[in-house]
């Protein structure tokens, strides 16, 4: 049974930084791509960043240059470092395990989800 357990996130002022982490278990972590999505109230869930099995990365235009995704295959973890946070980054952030080794920009490309963690950026 695959499980994704998230930690981190929280409340920060605009311009600040937060880190979200996700610990995976139940399958060979290094074989699969991983992603971070977010969902703000009244909006659809959107892909923020993703990393392939070979460490290639994808970032949404809205977070390029501010967010960094990384993975540690020895620890089965994937992290999202969020810098220069803006109020519009406020959302629930979800870790997601892909169905394949490669990055998917679609929700359908992900089979497993973390419990979500709130990120709130005050102005």
Q: In this predicted model, what pLDDT tens digit does every residue of 43-100 receive, in sequence order? A: 999 999 999 999 999 999 999 999 999 999 999 999 999 999 999 999 999 999 999 9
Q: Which of 57, 99, 105 is nearest to 78 (CA)?
A: 57
pLDDT of residue 2: 95
d(CA 34, CA 115): 15
d(CA 84, CA 75): 27
Q: In this predicted model, what pLDDT tens digit does every residue of 13-52 receive, in sequence order? A: 999 999 999 999 999 999 999 999 999 999 999 999 999 9
Q: In this predicted model, what pLDDT tens digit does every residue of 97-116 receive, in sequence order? A: 999 999 999 999 999 999 99
* The pair of three-digit structure tokens given for residue 113, joined into one six-digit string: 């989800």
Label the pairing between strands 18-25 and 46-51.
unpaired
Mean of the per-residue pLDDT values of the chain: 97
Please state the separation of Cα 17 from the chain's center in Å.
Answer: 15
With 0-12 CB in 10 A as exposed, 13-18 as middle and 19+ as buried, what is 16?
middle
* The pair of three-digit structure tokens given for residue 4, joined into one six-digit string: 């994704």
């Amino acid at each position: 049974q695959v499980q994704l357990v998230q930690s981190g996130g929280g409340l920060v002022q605009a311009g600040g930084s937060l880190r979200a982490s996700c610990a995976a278990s139940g399958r060979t972590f290094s074989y699969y791509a991983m992603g971070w999505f977010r969902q703000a109230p009244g909006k659809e869930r959107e892909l923020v960043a993703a990393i392939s099995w070979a460490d290639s990365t994808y970032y949404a235009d809205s977070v390029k240059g501010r967010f960094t995704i990384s993975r540690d295959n020895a620890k089965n973890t994937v992290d999202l470092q969020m810098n220069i946070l803006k109020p519009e980054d406020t959302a629930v952030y979800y870790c997601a395990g892909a169905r394949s080794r490669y990055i998917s920009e679609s929700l359908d490309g992900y089979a497993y989800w973390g419990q979500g963690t709130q990120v709130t950026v005050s102005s």
